Amino acid sequence: MEATRIVHQSFNRRMCLTRGMKNAKYLQAVAPTILPKNEPAAGFGSLIDPALLNVLHVTRPDQAPAIASEPAGLSAFLASHSIPGPAASVAGSLFNGTVYFVQISFTTPQGVITISDADMAVAVSFASRASLPISRYASQFGKCSVTIDQNVIAYAVDLQSSSGGNSYNDQTLQGWVNDIASRNNLANGCIAVLNPPGVMNTDATGGVLGYHAQSNLPYIFGNVQGQNFSLQDGADDYALVLSHELAEMTVDPAADLSNPEVCDGCGPNCQSVFRDYFDASNVYVGTSQDFPPSFAFAYFINAIVQPSSATQCPAPSSACAYPPPDAE
């Protein structure tokens, strides 16, 4: 338990917060005096540091104050309750459907902030390629299929009345997801939202790259680090978080405690991230923790752990560095 906590702390500047969001929602359900059911506008992180929230299921009562100033009652709660950890095996269905990208235009006091049409097109192209090896890796856990819709959905929100005029939290995002699904008659799908610099999801700050969750539909959230995307993403702006969340959503669309979290053990949550590299024909080239690697590649995805090591943090190298099943 101690070793797991230290590993998480070491890599908490670039992390997926899906596990933290699961822990937060568990506390909302069973301990609303610690995390209220109506999420604060400043996000869960305003009450529990994201680095602690992400490892709360493996944290002893005496360890909580060492990471962050704990909210009242947290240590006492941990002393008498065990927060459920990641699933070791699959109990629920995997994703079999279509991913829809949404280009949100955020109206702020500084003007309208959005991801450019060109960058959205690159993200869709990347996801279309990445979904092929992701589906093959994810098939180790069960039957799945991922289709990327080639049309980007436009959606506009006004943040001028929010704190600072440029922020929102996950509860607000869930409302947008439901509205987008309703307006566009989406079913059996997942909504992907990429957040541009200059706008803040208050649940995804302090090194949080993104997370996936479920409202009326599963959804993916990712913080974008820059602009002028490329398929290879040498600037590390978007591909890591997008492939990570797409892979984890594919295996765990309900974002509950039913299915394993299949990327965390291979990074960035538990160790320096393993990336699987592919050429322009979608042929596996190799896996490396170096970025960029010493060999040529066209694109990469976050490595997906083998089922036998799904709960290990960090997972062994052999469980992260391997070709997609049935690869040539």
pLDDT at 164: 85
**pTM to 2 decimals?**
0.93
The residues that bridge with 157 in the sheet, in sequence order, are 106
Distances (CA, A) of 161 to 107, 143, 176: 10, 44, 16
How is residue 37 written in tokens?
A: 């059911």
Classify burial at 29, counting beta carbons within 10 Å of its beta carbon; exposed 0-12, middle 13-18, buried 19 or more: exposed
Amino acid letter for position 286: G
pLDDT at 64: 57
Parts of the chain with a pLDDT under 70? 1-13, 60-70, 327-328
The residues that bridge with 158 in the sheet, in sequence order, are 107
For 172-230, what is each residue's pLDDT tens digit? 999 999 999 999 999 889 999 999 999 999 999 989 999 999 999 999 999 999 999 99
Q: Which domains does the chain have, with CATH numbers?
A: 2-80 (no CATH), 96-256 (3.40.390)
Q: Is the dihedral of CA 8, 12, 17, 20 positive or negative?
A: positive
Name the strand (E) or helix (H) holding 239.
Answer: helix 239-251
pLDDT at 49: 86
pLDDT at 246: 98
pLDDT at 311: 94
pLDDT at 249: 98
* Averaged pLDDT of the chain: 92
pLDDT at 141: 98
pLDDT at 325: 94
pLDDT at 52: 85
How is residue 213 written in tokens?
A: 């969750």
Cα torsion through 237, 132, 312, 18, rounded to 10: 50
Cα torsion through 150, 205, 255, 40, rounded to 10: -120
Bridge-based pairing state of the strands 218-223 and 208-214 = antiparallel
pLDDT at 269: 94
CA distance 250 to 191: 12
pLDDT at 11: 38
How is residue 197 written in tokens?
A: 């610099």
> Is residue 80 a contact partner of residue 131, using CB atoms and an 8 Å limit?
no
Kindly report the backbone phi and psi dihedral angles of residue 315, in degrees, each rounded to the nearest multiple of 5, phi listed first: -75, 150
